[in-house]
Structure 1
Amino acid sequence: MSDLERYYRILELEPGATLEEVNQAYKDLVFVWHPDRIPKDNLRLQQKAQDKLKAINEAREKLRSLKTKHQTISNSPSPSSSPSPSYQQQTPSQKTQPPPKQNSDLSGKDYSRANLSNKDLSGRNLSYANLSGANLSDTFMHKVNLRGANLSEANLFRANLLLADLREANLRGANLIGADLSGTDLRGADLTGARIRSGERLLVKLIGANLAGAIMPDGEIYQ
């Protein structure tokens, strides 16, 4: 079996599945094998869940990389069909910021109001980056470093921030509905006005999160 076939099998997909199918399969399997769903005293299943997540993450990353590269090649115009220079220039309203490159140091970068929805930013260094107003819905940010980052008014709907570093981060007014902040370090973070509830129902996963000294949405400091 080739590596490609193995990646599809790990995600329980048929070879040739679309990028959307890869993303959906990934989300389904992460939900099933999330360690928080396994009893803490069952060390065998905890280890199995961690191994499964590692394999699922690798399969998704490899398939996303392959499909993104293929789309880039497929969408590249041939020399004979290239538009004239006057049509290649973008107006300011059309310009979009490029997505963060893998394995690059993005500390202090400006991604304010950037559309990073559904991107894989896991393990990246985005400390002190400006992500104010950015669209980070459904973005995968496992173990991302966002220490001191500006995430004010950012849309983090259903974002996966498992084990992320959010110390001293500015999350004022951010939309955290559906986000997974399990195991996240939120010491000293400012969550004033952040959306985390619907009525009395908490809609953010904070299992194992460190909230010492964090300013909560109601302005109270977590002790």
Structure 2
Amino acid sequence: MKRNILSTLLIVTPLILASPVMAGNPAQVQKLLETGQCKACDLSNEDLRYAHLIGADLRDANLQGANLTEANLEGADLTGANLKGADLTGAMVTNASLNDANLDNVNFTQAMIYDADVTGASMENLNITNAQIYNTGIGIGGEEP
């Protein structure tokens, strides 16, 4: 009997204590993940860790404060997107368009940023610690690497 109670507690306790991820706009998150299309969506503060967003259309999307840790944004169009304060730690940002995007306070720690277009982007206070940046206009002191 004690063994059954202990087994039940071991199974149920993590379910009770687990804090579910609450999406601010689950329909838009689902649309993005299923179709790769979410132009002008509000994805602020969303948890998009490890998301495969290859070629995604995120033009003018609000991704302020979003968690994009280790997301794959290869070929994504983020033209005019607001990524202020977003976490892109370890993200793959290859051949992406970040034209006129707000990249202020973005965490690009250990990100791989290759051939990304950042023309007209706001880039105040970026964290590029251990980032790999090639053929992209992001650098220390305003100098292209």
- The interval holding the TM-score normalised by the smaller chain is 0.7 to 0.9
Deviation at 1:206, TM superposition (A): 1.6
Unaligned runs of 5+ in 2: 1-19
Contact 1:102–1:124 under 8 Å retained in 2? no
Cα 1:163–1:114 shift into 2, 3 Å: same
**Does 2:121 correspond to 1:194?**
no
Moved over 6 A (4+): none
**Does 2:135 correspond to 1:208?**
yes
Cα 1:94–1:164 shift into 2, 3 Å: closer
When you count strand as a share of all residues, which structure comes out higher?
Answer: 2
TM-score by length of structure 2 reads 0.74
User: Greater Rg, structure 1 or structure 2?
Assistant: 1
**Does 2:96 correspond to 1:164?**
yes
Aligned-partner SS, 1:191:
coil
Contact 1:193–1:217 under 8 Å retained in 2? no
When you count helix as a share of all residues, which structure comes out higher?
Answer: 1
Deviation at 1:102, TM superposition (A): 3.0
- How many residues are paired up? 120
Counterpart of 2:52 in structure 1 is 120
**Does 2:81 correspond to 1:154?**
no
* Distance in structure 2 (CA, Å) of the matches to 1:164 and 1:193: 20
**Does 2:69 correspond to 1:137?**
yes
Percent of aligned pairs with the same amino acid: 28
Contact 1:124–1:144 under 8 Å retained in 2? yes
Deviation at 1:217, TM superposition (A): 6.7
Correspondence for 1:175 among 101, 107, 119: 107
Greater relative contact order, per chain length (Cα 8 Å cut-off, separation 6+): 2
Aligned-partner SS, 1:174:
coil
* Distance in structure 1 (CA, Å) of the matches to 2:88 and 2:44: 13
Q: CA RMSD in A?
A: 2.1
TM-score by length of structure 1 reads 0.49
Amino acid at match of 1:148: G
Contact 1:154–1:173 under 8 Å retained in 2? yes
Amino acid at match of 1:122: I
Contact 1:166–1:184 under 8 Å retained in 2? yes
Cα 1:106–1:208 shift into 2, 3 Å: same
Aligned-partner SS, 2:119:
coil
* Distance in structure 1 (CA, Å) of the matches to 2:140 and 2:44: 22
* Distance in structure 2 (CA, Å) of the matches to 1:94 and 1:142: 25
Q: Deviations over 1:156-204 (max 9, x none)?
A: 000001111111110100101111111111111111011113xxxxx22
* Distance in structure 1 (CA, Å) of the matches to 2:49 and 2:66: 9
Contact 1:173–1:195 under 8 Å retained in 2? yes
| Paired residues for 1:57-136 under 5 Å | 95-96=22-23, 97-98=25-26, 99=29, 100-136=32-68
